[in-house]
Structure 1
């Protein structure tokens, strides 16, 4: 008996044994205790560090471990957002879609947790959300990423920060040499991986199941999900994926540049800054680097050992169930051309394919040409990427795919109505956060938010979006081509513009 008691006592003081927490008022993580705030039945923890501040000599380095702390760290306010340009409103993107004006800092590697669990023994499904912003902006404190509603739906909701812009995606030969991996540039993706490792190690203390984690993201966040599914470093860190409007299978602005090309750009950037060494580069104030140089994932040989399409072709991806799709008006068109000018552009750009192009994206009238230009922009940037991912995965027959098209034109004043079912418009519905947007919502919007967030929560829990009270959502395959149309009356349909998508895949693939 004494022997057993001595062993029990040794396990406690060594930290190899942990008690189940009957209350989440104070949660013990591997680096220290944290407390949060309580909103009704939901505990909220804001600004939990998951990696050391990437400042000084840690700028452009793989995220490092957090220094443990004593006592209880109060996590009741959002951390600083990653370094980026001032978050001014533009187009349809009002404050609810943007990070707070302040604070913004290089010291940004923190995450937020919403949990409705009563104790650490519940093992609830976990959803880790990765924001968009073109890899150059964004942050975890954006209002429409609030996790309270999903927590009330039984999900442990986690939103993470990661480095963006030049701080998150900057390659240089000297950085490659010092890395220990013969690679450089994908610091933003490595931040995401570090956050997922933190979840795996700590989320049980918040009532979560470390073996039931869904990664989800929109736009650049969706492209990040695509990268993580492709990366060998993501193995075992998640079990499902939700990708909203973004992937990197085909040629495009975010298809992934080579390490050599990224290093060459990095050398030119250093020269333009009169920096002759990494030490010089790391001494440059962050404010002088903001908004400079490109930012996108790099085929670095480490995080991404090959182009994503090749990784999938070689069956080296992390095979997990996928829920993916895009929005009806996922488009960025500066100025719509009239029918005649649009046709001239297509003829000049696509030459012998122009006739076929105008068949699928016609211009019989100015109105038809306007619609076609939106469809072209949507399909070139987002539609064909997620469509190709769905086709590739369904063709393997290993893990199911659920494909959607979000078509609800968000109600708005005349200034905003023209944007329709715009890029990012579905996010507030997906996480049941309409209350954060100042829009003239109708009962159909509230019902749609309940439906879509229900699908997302069910998928995170089981890998299948279907559930009681929801319209049936059949899995996607290339024979039936079923897509869930998420509009005023959600229903499964055959993908109406399959031929136009297939044609665009062909055109992009030839570039």
Structure 2
């Protein structure tokens, strides 16, 4: 049912963008590709940016895409990278989910541009999908870049290896690697894609000197990684992290990754690296399947980027570390990122707060009302929001002070329309992306003029940032984060600068918790 619904959603979106097809050919560094033009936009889909990482190339650095002769058909997206098939839950219906087919042969990207000959050079936006580093893909219906491209941008969405295929660290892989590293293949794919975009942007009317890398969730964590990776130096000029600055995803050492690889090898009966490379992909997926826990405690993701001293020299959650690409950064969170069905009573709220915050639990409980069930549920959501917004503010202030990197912080608080007949989940995780891409209107939901107005609000801000490095608009200034100012930009029905945390006392408590070693990230 999910797969069928995704197909319907994708078809409806494509139909809305393509009332009349025409053909267009662009020459890339690997060969010519034919796209489709309609509704003022041209789309070039499923373009290989690297060679297929299959067979003996599983768990190797991405190699250059193989050149092709003639004109390649660019009318269909490539498969998403190998992963477990996901079903819908809570607010997540088909248009938010990566659907089959899945394949190890997946290193492709998609490009949208305004139709016809482009005058001048347009800003380029590269989007890295989320999915906990274990799933997702560029073919998710909500990531269609046509409506944003129609406003004068070249939009690129990419696939990268996920899960065990993207983030397996193994001593034998390190030994055979030209980089003397392993466990960061997904990040290396992203770097290869950015290199491809730099080399080919002009062919699509884009400005190779004005590339913005962006991502959501794991894609935003990737953006944070790319800003500190020496291998990504000079590949982008601005950055956007949707639901991602200061996320506090664990970044294990490469040695910790080796221990995980040993467990996986034993689980699938692989006595050597050659045996591991011969394991069928679905067997590896089944052996490493991750089921997200719906609890108040932080999630632990296993297959994630590693601190290897080469691709990723340190945990970018450390705001004061050396930043290779200290480009202007726009980043923030949605107002209801956390969905926690485990807290429904005052006792459950108290237990969850004490479990997460330890000695700071009583201080926080005194600041968040929870005398009855309704207060407990509301305070649980608000405390989570205050936690990651405080983390965003403090991380941004630290980064701005230590690296002089301009950071523009936001909170998106518009409630996404509920599924027809279902409950509202507010501004849940990833619900801001349809407004960014302009893909509001798909799915079994009732959209209003307010949703379309918010899409314009988001895109106006985005376009200003892509063009100038600043998201301010005439009469609507958006100042960067600075010391002594606890405000962020609210994007929603009542836009404007607002306090990042609900009260000063709560901000101070969370600041003290962070100073004691506690993490204020999303997870």
Query: TM-score scaled to structure 2, two decimals?
Result: 0.87
Partner Cα distance (1:297, 1:502) in 2: 32
* SS of structure 2 residue aligned to 1:308: coil
1:233 aligns with 2:239: no
Contact kept, 8 Å, 2:339 with 2:428, in 1: the verdict is no
Q: Which residue of 1 aligns with 2:38?
A: 39
Task: Name whichever of 339-348 and 273-282 sits farther off.
Answer: 339-348
1:268 aligns with 2:263: yes
* SS of structure 2 residue aligned to 1:464: coil
Give the 5 Å matches for 1:105-504: 105-116=103-114, 118-119=116-117, 122-248=120-246, 250=248, 254-293=249-288, 294-310=302-318, 312-347=319-354, 350-378=357-385, 382-396=388-402, 398-413=404-419, 416-468=422-474, 471-497=476-502, 499-501=505-507, 503-504=509-510
Deviations 1:90-136 (A, max 9, x none): 11110110123x32111100000000163366310000001111111
Contact kept, 8 Å, 2:257 with 2:306, in 1: the verdict is yes
Task: Name whichever of 232-241 and 120-129 sits farther off.
Answer: 120-129
Q: Which residue of 2 aligns with 1:96?
A: 95
* SS of structure 1 residue aligned to 2:241: strand
Task: Name whichever of 499-508 and 477-486 sits farther off.
Answer: 499-508
Task: Name whichever of 446-455 and 342-351 sits farther off.
Answer: 342-351
Partner Cα distance (1:493, 1:59) in 2: 48
* SS of structure 1 residue aligned to 2:441: helix
Partner Cα distance (2:265, 2:355) in 1: 38
Partner Cα distance (1:43, 1:489) in 2: 34
Distance 1:499 1:242, change over 3 A: farther
Q: Which residue of 2 aligns with 1:13?
A: none
| 1:249 to partner: Cα distance | 6.4
| 1:297 to partner: Cα distance | 1.2
Deviations 1:346-381 (A, max 9, x none): 34654532221213434233222112222344455x
* SS of structure 1 residue aligned to 2:340: coil
Q: Which residue of 2 aligns with 1:25?
A: 24
Q: Which residue of 2 aligns with 1:8?
A: none
Deviations 1:253-279 (A, max 9, x none): x22001111111111211221111111
Q: Which residue of 1 aligns with 2:299?
A: none
Larger Cα-atom Rg:
1
Partner Cα distance (1:422, 1:249) in 2: 16
Contact kept, 8 Å, 1:119 with 1:206, in 2: the verdict is no
Deviations 1:59-108 (A, max 9, x none): 111101111111010111010111111131111110110123x3211110
Task: Name whichever of 291-300 and 392-401 sits farther off.
Answer: 392-401
Partner Cα distance (2:455, 2:57) in 1: 41
- Segments of structure 2 that go 5 or more residues without pairing to the other structure are 1-21, 289-301, 519-523
Q: What is the root-mean-square deviation in Å for CA atoms of aligned residues?
A: 2.2
Deviations 1:149-189 (A, max 9, x none): 11111110000000111111111111111112221101111
Distance 1:344 1:283, change over 3 A: closer
Task: Name whichever of 227-236 and 495-504 sits farther off.
Answer: 495-504
Partner Cα distance (1:502, 1:206) in 2: 49
* SS of structure 2 residue aligned to 1:157: strand
| 1:496 to partner: Cα distance | 3.9
Q: Which residue of 1 aligns with 2:19?
A: none
* SS of structure 2 residue aligned to 1:298: coil
| 1:306 to partner: Cα distance | 1.8
- Segments of structure 1 that go 5 or more residues without pairing to the other structure are 1-22
Partner Cα distance (2:407, 2:448) in 1: 31
Task: Name whichever of 477-486 and 105-114 sits farther off.
Answer: 477-486
Distance 1:71 1:351, change over 3 A: closer
Distance 1:344 1:106, change over 3 A: closer
Partner Cα distance (2:28, 2:57) in 1: 23
Contact kept, 8 Å, 1:363 with 1:369, in 2: the verdict is yes
Partner Cα distance (2:174, 2:135) in 1: 24
Contact kept, 8 Å, 2:123 with 2:207, in 1: the verdict is yes
Contact kept, 8 Å, 1:165 with 1:291, in 2: the verdict is no
Deviations 1:181-220 (A, max 9, x none): 2211011111100000000111110000011011111111
| 1:344 to partner: Cα distance | 4.0
Deviations 1:312-361 (A, max 9, x none): 52433310111111011010313223113322443465453222121343
